[in-house]
Amino acid sequence: MVTARAPATSANLGSGFDTFGVALERPADVVTVERADETSIDVTGAGAQYIPEDPEGNTVGAVAEALDAPAHISIDKGVRPASGLGSSASSAAAAAVALNELYERGYSREGLVPVAAKGEAVVSGDAHADNVAPSLLGGFTVVRGDEVTRIDADVPLVACLPEVAVSTRDARRVVPDSISMDDHVETVGNAAALTAGMCRSDPTLVGAGMDDPVVTPARADLITGYESVREIAFEAGATGVTVSGAGPSLLAVCHPEKCRAVAGAMVEAFADAGVGARAYQTRVGRGATLL
C-alpha cells in the first residue's frame, strides 16, 4: 500500500492562459493505492458524490492505465471538483506518484507530467499539463508543449472558493477565438512581469502581471459577484486578483500581513452578492509527496 498527497493548483494566473501554473500549500488530495488484478476506485471527501468511481470516467483510472498499474485506488478529496483549483489534477498527480512507487515504474517527477495529463483529458477533453505540472513538481511552472520549467517562489496567496460551479468545458467555450494586437502585446508584457515577479518572490510584481485583457473578462461573467469581490480584495490590500483556472475560485496575491484581511474581505463580498464562499490563506507550495 502506498499513499501520496498532491496539492491544489491555480492555472493561467491571468496572463498565462494554458501556460502558467502554481502549486498551493493547501488544500490537497490524498490518494492510497493497493495492487489489484483490475482497477477499482472509491472516493470520499469534498464533492465526492459528483465524482465517478468508474475507472473509465475518473482521472486516476486513466493514470493507472497509462502506467499499466492496476490497483484499488482510494481518493480522499480535499480539493472540490469544479472549483478552479485543479481538483482533477490533484487526484491525477497523487495517483501517478503513488502508482509509480507501488509498481516501481521508475519515472521521474518530470516524466510523470504527461502521464498525469492523460488523466486530465478524461475531465476536460484535452491533456493539458498546466495544473498537473505544479501539482507534481511544486512551485511556479511554465508549460511549453512538452517542456516544463519550474521556478521556486515564495509568494503569499488567497484562494477564495464560492459555492457555485463552473465546468472547465463551459469556461473554455467562452474564450475568444482571436485577439487584437494591442491585447496581445499587453498580455505578453504582463506575463513577462509575472514571471520576473515569481523569480524574485515579489508579490507586487506578480500581482501587476496577473492583469489579462482577454480570457479573464470572458470568464468573469460566469462568476456571480466577480467584479465587486475583485474590487474589495484590492481595497483590502491585494496586489493582484484573477480567476483561478476555469473558475469559480478567485486567486489573490498579497503581502503576508495583508492575507487575513484580503481573505475576509473576499468572503464578505461574495456574501453581499448572495453567494457563500470560503477562503484559503495559502502560498506557493511544494508538489506531490509520498506519505
In the block, residue with C-alpha cell 490533484: 90
The span from the CA of 279 to the CA of 162, in Å, is 9
133 assigned to a ligand binding site: no
Annotated active-site residue in 120, 195, 216, 242: 120
90 assigned to a ligand binding site: yes
87 assigned to a ligand binding site: yes
User: Catalytic: 53?
Assistant: no
The span from the CA of 52 to the CA of 37, in Å, is 20
86 assigned to a ligand binding site: yes
89 assigned to a ligand binding site: yes
The span from the CA of 186 to the CA of 167, in Å, is 27
263 assigned to a ligand binding site: no
251 assigned to a ligand binding site: no
Annotated active-site residue in 9, 141, 168, 282: 168
Any residues with CB less than 8 A from the CB of 159 and at least 6 apart, and which? 8, 10, 24, 85, 244, 249, 250, 251, 252, 279, 280, 282
Q: 4 phi and psi, to 5 degrees?
A: -135, 150
124 assigned to a ligand binding site: no
User: Catalytic: 168?
Assistant: yes
Residues of each annotated binding site for ATP: 80-90
Q: List active site positions.
A: 120, 168
Residues of each annotated binding site: 80-90
